[in-house]
Structures are given as structure tokens and as C-alpha cells.
Amino acid sequence: MKILGIETSCDETAAALIEGENDHVVLKANVLATSLALHAKTGGIIPEQAAREQAKFILPVIKETLNKSLDTSDPLESLRTIDAIAVTYGPGLIGSLLVGVETAKTLAYVLNKPIIPVNHMVGHIYANFINTSLRDHEVARRFEEASPLGGKQSHLRLPRSLSVARNDEIQFPLLALVVSGGHTDLLLMKRHGDFQLLGGTRDDAAGEAFDKIGRMLGLSYPAGPEIEKLANLGNPKHFHFPRPLLHENTYEFSFSGLKTAVLREVKATKQLNNQTIRDICRAAQDAIIDVLVKKTLRAAKEHNVKSILLSGGVSANQTLREEFSRLNPSQGIPSGQLSTQIFAPAKSLCTDNAAMIASAAYFNYNPVPWQEITADPELYF
């Protein structure tokens, strides 16, 4: 089954084509137009500007996806060969969502194809179920090994259990950690489409904390990747920031106290030189990762899950991925007896993309009449 995915919930304009058969999803094309350069200038997303860019890019992005994945050079002919259309209908920015939703509905109507509305957060989880090609897998691994904390320190190398390509090994019940710019959610899944929310954030999301701390330090938006780079050069002992709710009996998260603690330190520091910035990045990242990893592993133990799926933009963070592997109690148990395996998508599929939306639609195939689909900015699980 060939599914065309469309995703425009925030600042990206994305389309992708996946092919699924017997619970095995292969990525055929994954195209993304970003307006990040615009947002970096303004220090954040201006919703109307994002939606205008998306209206400009949506058709060229779909056309490029079809050109890359299907044999014909005629986009209309290619569109006729797809089996279904999947589109993000929330949560997100209303203007942005409307661009994708209305485009997808029009295509479904004109081509008489089934259309599946997908929750963006569910999409993030299903990025884990996409089998990237061997080439993508190798590129991802080489990239990981070249990172400052990667291959050079062999004990930190990614173990086989943190797999980006062997997702047919994912087993239920599983725990999904969604860590993005808007959400930090821990969910228990006993089967496809069944989501039990164990805890979410009470205030800022993990990605939002990265972005706000970055702003205090004069870094451009989104700050997560830059903080990760600077943290690799930081002294872990110079600063220590609080780990909110870490020891409390809840799976909820809270990151606004951490943000305030960083702000206090930034104000108290007379000279914010490059090394101090690196040290703050290191301490802030350590605090965020510590909370995410320890709470998730505690929940995994309590619910006796077989797999943990990391997802969302923050799960592209290499140190987070390594900490999960390092602290996983199943680490070191010979393969075959692994009690909890940890998975993370290829890094390019952690941040917003349309392949994850198509993948979610494949595993939760619930087409609805196009007339019934409306964008829902506040959608939750």
C-alpha cells in the first residue's frame, strides 16, 4: 500500500511517500521545505508568516515527492497510483494546519482516494516504525559515531539495542516518550492505536526549555541542536541545575523551574564568555536528560514494557540517546533475553516530517470522509 503523507503543523512544509506491506514500512521519498532561516531571524515562529510560506511550498513539495518516488514524470498520473492520503490535522498552528488539511482534502476529493487524519504526536511515535534503507541507516550510524561523545569513546558507542533500522523488532506493550517543541509526554501502548497517557508536562516542553534557554544565551532558534554542540565542550561540574519532579511519585514533567534557575545564573554571571555559555549548556542539557531518562526507565520497569520508543525533535539529541542506552537496565543482557529494547528513529525522522504521518496512517488505517476532517490546533491524545 502506497501512502502519501502531508505535514504542515508548525513551520515545515513536508510530504513523503511510504510503501507498507505486512507491517513493514519502507520510505520511498521524504521532502521538506523549511522556513527556519526566516524564524531564526525573528527568534521564533511568526504563525502567519509560517502559513504563507507553507501555502507557497505545499504543491512543489508534493510534486517533488512524487517525482522522487514514482516512475512516471506526470504528477497527476503518479497521484492516481497512490492508495491513500494521510494528513496532520492537529495539534499545531491553525493557519499552518489548514494549508495541509485543505490540500489533502482537495486531492482526496479530486482523485477519489481514502484520506486518514493523523495526530501529529502519534506521527512522531510512528517514525520508529519506518524502515530506513540500509544506506540511510549507515549514514545515521556514521554520523553518530563521528559525534564528540560517539565512536571515540567505545564504551559510549550505540549498542545494537538502540536501533534505527530493525524496527520490526518493536514489541508491545511499549512506552513512548514524545519530546518535542510543544510536548513532553510519556505514553503506554498495549497495541497500535491504544494510547494511555502516563504523564505530560505541567508547563514548558523539553524542546521549549532548550529553545528558551538558548534565547537567554543569545543562540538562534531552534536552540536544541546548538546547545547540544556547545554542551559537548562544556564542563559538567561548573554549574548544577535542578531536576524538577525527578523524585516525586508522578510521571508528569516540569521544566519552567529549570529555565528560571538558568536565567538567575545568566543574570548573576558578570561575564558571559564562550566557556561559561558552554558550561551552562552542559548543565542545562544534563538536567533535562537526567529527568527524561530516569523517569522513562522507571515507568518502563513499573509497566514491564518490552520496548521504549523515543520520538520528537529532542530525541535527535545524541547525548539523550546514549544516556538511555547506558542506563537501560537491560544493557549487557545477552541478546535474545533483552527485557526492554530502546528504539529511536533515524535523526532526520525525529524532527517534523511527513513520513511519520504516513507511517502512523498505515498502522492505524482509519479513513474518514473528507468532509469530516477539520484542523484541530488543540488536539491531544
Other Cβ atoms within 10 Å of 64 Cβ, number: 17
* Interface contacts to Zn ion, rule CB under 5 A: 180, 352
Contacts of 361 (CB under 8 A, 6+ apart): 3, 5, 84, 86, 116, 118
In whole angstroms, give the CA distance from residue 199 to residue 177.
10
Output 78 or 318, the one with its CB closest to ligand KG4: 318
CB of 182 to Zn ion, least distance (A): 7
Instruction: Using CB under 6 A, list all residues that contact ligand KG4.
Output: 10, 180-182, 207, 210-211, 222-225, 228, 312-314, 316-317, 351-352
CB of residue 352 to Zn ion, shortest distance in Å: 4
| DSSP-based three-state secondary structure for 244 | coil
- What's the closest the beta carbon of residue 51 comes to ligand KG4, in angstroms? 16
Provide, rounded to whole angstroms, the least separation between the CB of residue 134 and ligand KG4. 24
Q: Is 57 in contact with 64 (CB distance < 8 Å)?
A: no
Of the pair 10, 227, the CB lying nearest Zn ion is at 10
Q: Identify what 91 binds: Zn ion, ligand KG4, none; CB under 5 to 8 Å per kind.
A: none
**Residue whose CB is less far from Zn ion, 244 or 313:** 313
Element (H, E) at 100: helix 94-111
314 binding partner (options Zn ion, ligand KG4, none; Cβ < 5 to 8 Å by kind) = ligand KG4
Give the nearest distance from C-beta 356 to Zn ion in angstroms.
Answer: 9
Q: Which is nearer to ligand KG4, 88 or 132 (CB)?
A: 88
Question: CB under 5 to 8 A by kind: which of ligand KG4, Zn ion, none does 222 bind?
Answer: ligand KG4
Residue 211 binds which one of ligand KG4, Zn ion, none, with CB within 5 to 8 A depending on kind?
ligand KG4
Cβ proximity to Zn ion, 92 vs 214, nearer residue = 92
End-to-end Cα, the chain, rounded Å = 26
How far, in Å, are 176, 196, 233, 296, 365 from residue 192 at the CA level? 12, 12, 41, 20, 10
Contact in structure between 113 and 106 (CB atoms under 8 Å): no
* Distance set, CA 349 to CA 38, 64, 114, 115, 164 (Å): 22, 18, 25, 22, 10
Contact partner at residue 217 from Zn ion, ligand KG4, none, CB < 5 to 8 Å by partner kind = none
For 335, other C-beta atoms within 10 Å of its C-beta total: 9
Instruction: For the CB of residue 151, give the shortest distance to ligand KG4 in the complex, in Å.
Output: 18
